[in-house]
Amino acid sequence: MPLPNGVTPAGRIEATCASAAWLGNRGILHDGHGTITRAWANKAWVTCALSFKGRNRKPLMQPGRYSELFFLDEVTAFAAGHRPCAECRRTAHDAFKAAWFAANLPAGKSVAEIDRALHLERVTAGRAKRTFRAALADLPPGTIVEYDGNAFLLWRGGPARWTPRGYDTSSPAPPHTAVIDVLTPASIVAVFRRGLLPQVHPSAEAGAPERAR
């Protein structure tokens, strides 16, 4: 059954999520009727496990509790500007935190510094998605870019178009020589360059050997 509140790589919250590997948290975003009324409530946007220590969050969107968001995969969450949760994903959190500081702010210590930096990278003063331009050939695997109105994941065999149900590896992809808008925040791209590989939906692997040839 589809879940509510699917998040796109551009960070937008949609009505449904057809397939989800992760849960997300930006604070309480819904009203007493369960309607999303704002895009975030704090700067700590986290990616959580779908289940943790038997906690039961059903029904979803309960009054006074954080609004459950859902992601197709971890690369989608990273592109939207989320980071691993320190409670339910401690190992992933610690690895990401160490890699983020090494790549971006070697003297940093607090995860609050990461959250402040990511917030500046993911939204503009007008509350729109912030992107940056880069040469496609210079971007590491795990990065999501925007091309011809669609989001494309850069992964092993080549770019694959993002959809709420998985990746379409047959769609026309941006040329290797393109200079392109990048959806994944720059500091997270820097982490990927250091070798951290996020989880991706299995459909991203479909046809990878053929596209790699």
Q: What percent of the chain has pLDDT over 70?
A: 96
Q: Alpha-carbon distance 108 to 89, whole Å? A: 21
| pLDDT value at 184 more than 80 | yes
The answer to whether residues 6 and 16 touch, using CB atoms and an 8 Å cutoff, is yes
Question: What is the pTM (predicted TM-score) of this model?
Answer: 0.94
N-to-C CA span, the chain = 37
Question: With 80 as the cut, is the pLDDT of residue 99 above it?
Answer: yes
Write the DSSP symbol of residue 2.
P
Give the mean pLDDT of the chain: 93
Q: How does pLDDT run across 46-77, given as a tens digit for each residue? A: 999 999 887 777 889 999 999 999 999 999 99
> CB-based contacts of 51: which residues, under 8 Å, 6+ apart?
none
Structure tokens at 82: 């989320």
Beta carbons of 3 and 20 less than 8 angstroms apart: yes
Indicate whether 32 pLDDT > 70.
yes
pLDDT tens track for 102-145? 999 999 999 999 999 999 999 999 999 999 999 999 999 999 99
Q: State how far the Cα of 213 lies from the Cα of 86, in Å rounded to an integer.
A: 40
